Amino acid sequence: MAVTEFEAYPPIEAYGVVGNLETCGLVAPNGSVDWFPFPHLEFPSIFAAILDNERGGRFRIGPPDPFETDRRYVGDTNVLETTFDTPNGTATVTDFLPPAGRVDHPKKVLYRKVTCTGGTVGLEVELDPRFDYGHAETTIEPVEKGILAEGTDERTLLESPIDLEIEDGRITGELSLEAGETEWFLLRCTGAEDANTDPDAALEETIEYWTDWAHSCDPDDDCAFEGPWHDLVVRSELVLKLLTHAESGAIAAAPTTSLPETVGGVRNWDYRFNWLRDAGFTVQALMNLGTADEANDYFDWFMDLCQADGPASIQPLYSLHGESDLAERELDHFEGYRGSRPVRIGNEAAQQRQLDIYGELLLAVDEMYRHGRELNDEEWDRIRDIVEYVREVWDEPDAGIWEVRGGNEHFVYSNVMCWVALDRAIAIAAGGDYDAPLETWRETRETIRTDVLENGYDEDVGAFVQSYGTDALDATGLLLPIVGFLPFDDERIQGTIDAIEAELVEDVFVQRYNGDDGIPGDEGAFVLCSCWLVNALALSGRVEEAQSRFESLLEYLNPLGLIAEEIDPENGAHLGNYPQAFSHIGIINSALYLGYVRGREASGPAPMGIRLGDPVVPPEA
């Protein structure tokens, strides 16, 4: 427990997250909801104090004076409890939204339960709605059920057990509770003003939904995720579900925008969208956790996207509703988290050419197919079109997986993933007797492999490099054996692992690359890349070293089990958008690999890269 006062900008890792499978809110340790886009993640915010303390808006319930705070989720749920320990007593604020379509209570209500568990506690209430990222004019007036705030298109009704005052566009109040007393505050958002609610029943059913959904196993089960990290894997699974859109099945990279990769820097991006590059490893994580429905929904969603206008039109990322126009713009009126500007909404990387996405899509298709998902004729036609397109464009430059803004290059990983697209499609076609020009595909696959080996491996460096003609290293080199491009015992793979350890690793953290990307400033170490190193070491037979690294990395998760996109190696602070889906996917898959190499059984076919010394796809394919 830490002594906490009001902080304009708490550390990123201090936040908890709640949501309803359509949007999420970030709750600070002082009881302030500092981020809440509505009605969906990629929509404008009602509260954005995390991006501008003065102009962003918040909804706070907390003590007026310094206090000690403790945070926890109620069991394996996304119901958050923040407990305040003051000199005179203790109180807990319980925050949640009912999951959309899963609980028989309105999803557009943020429930805040306040309970005094000892002594007497005084609390302040502050509601400061700032619709449309603070752009909209807001009117506030008392109504029969509470206080109504309206913007241009949105409105909120705060249903309160206490009298509230309106002053300078803010709604404030005070309450005092004694041991055993409970009060409810309901923030009813557009469409839920008149909905019938039973707060206690809503809480009970929300807890029941998450508890029933989360991965569980008996002590006698041979769980692939068994180990000291099992509970953190479950929390990572709950984060992924929280970021999954109930209508489409798409999974957001993060619920936030513009949390900086360096405090005060310009590397601030909007991550409230779905990146297709996440597909393969996401499906692997979901299927091995036993969440087949979510994996199938996600699979169906991106297969529909592939149907739209042909392979050439497939974007690296889409909105959670499948929209392609993600025009990037800056919110000049926001100062940014701790002065980190610009604050961006939208993401122009959607318009980049990233050839790696085709291989990542085929990884996901192959993963589903190996788990028993049959492909219908229409789906196979789309896959075949993708492979034929890859045959045409694999040797053209692109922006790469890291979305560089310094010009297109021949990235090694992009070419390897084009190889993967052909490789997995060949395996599926041969195994399922699907119509395909297998000899032509095999010829192209071998052509790509030869090209990468000749131009992507640097003898002087002793490693695969980031792009043709450079000596820069890239953490994606750790994935080459996992996707089956070369076996783990190949000296070029082991040399790449050693070179990355020497050049990109600091303590347990791995940088993405050491080349120029056309963007000024520095960044933290990528959590996902640190997981890739764990996987590469484990599958190379260096299991004890891998486990030690993994356990050290897990120490940087916050007490709630959440982690951001990056970590500052110097002080352990979280950086970038938060919580980050790919970071949590990395944790799940690293636990899976460590479990598997120690003799645990996966719930289906062996994970990618698990056959030591052999390609993933059988030679006969």
Please, which residues have CB within 8 angstroms of residue 323's CB and are 6 or more apart in sequence?
A: none
CB 187 within 8 A of CB 197: no
% residues pLDDT > 70 (the chain)? 97
Q: What is the pTM of this model?
A: 0.96
Burial class (CB in 10 A: 0-12, 13-18, 19+), 87: exposed
CB 483 within 8 A of CB 416: yes
Q: pLDDT category, 6, cuts 50, 70, 90?
A: low
The length of the chain is: 621
CB 239 within 8 A of CB 581: yes
Question: Which amino acid makes up residue 63?
Answer: P
Domains contained in the chain, CATH given: 2-195 (2.70.98.40), 234-597 (1.50.10.10)
Instruction: Pull the structure tokens for residue 570.
Output: 């110097």
| 3 state DSSP class of 488 | coil
* Cα gap 372→461, rounded to integer Å: 42
Mean pLDDT, to the nearest integer, of 419-444? 97
* Cα gap 610→613, rounded to integer Å: 9
* Cα gap 455→475, rounded to integer Å: 17
Mean pLDDT, to the nearest integer, of 466-479? 97
pLDDT at 384: 97
* Cα gap 178→88, rounded to integer Å: 10
Own/partner long-range contacts of 590-593 (Cβ < 8 Å, ≥24 apart)? 590/531, 590/534, 590/535, 590/538, 590/550, 591/224, 591/225, 591/227, 591/229, 591/230, 591/232, 591/233, 591/550, 592/224, 592/225, 592/284, 592/285, 592/288, 593/534, 593/535, 593/538, 593/539, 593/546
pLDDT at 434: 96
Provide DSSP, 525-563: EEHHHHHHHHHHHHHTT-HHHHHHHHHHHHTTS-TTS--
| 3 state DSSP class of 360 | helix
Q: pLDDT category, 107, cuts 50, 70, 90?
A: very high
Mean pLDDT, to the nearest integer, of 508-514? 95
Residue 97 has pLDDT above 70, yes or no: yes
Instruction: Return the higher-pLDDT residue of 168 and 281.
Output: 281
Mean pLDDT of the chain: 94
Picking from 96-105, 331-340, 486-495, which range would have the lowest pLDDT averaged per residue?
Answer: 96-105
Residue 612 has pLDDT above 50, yes or no: no
According to DSSP, residue 21 is labeled: S
Mean pLDDT, to the nearest integer, of 593-606? 85
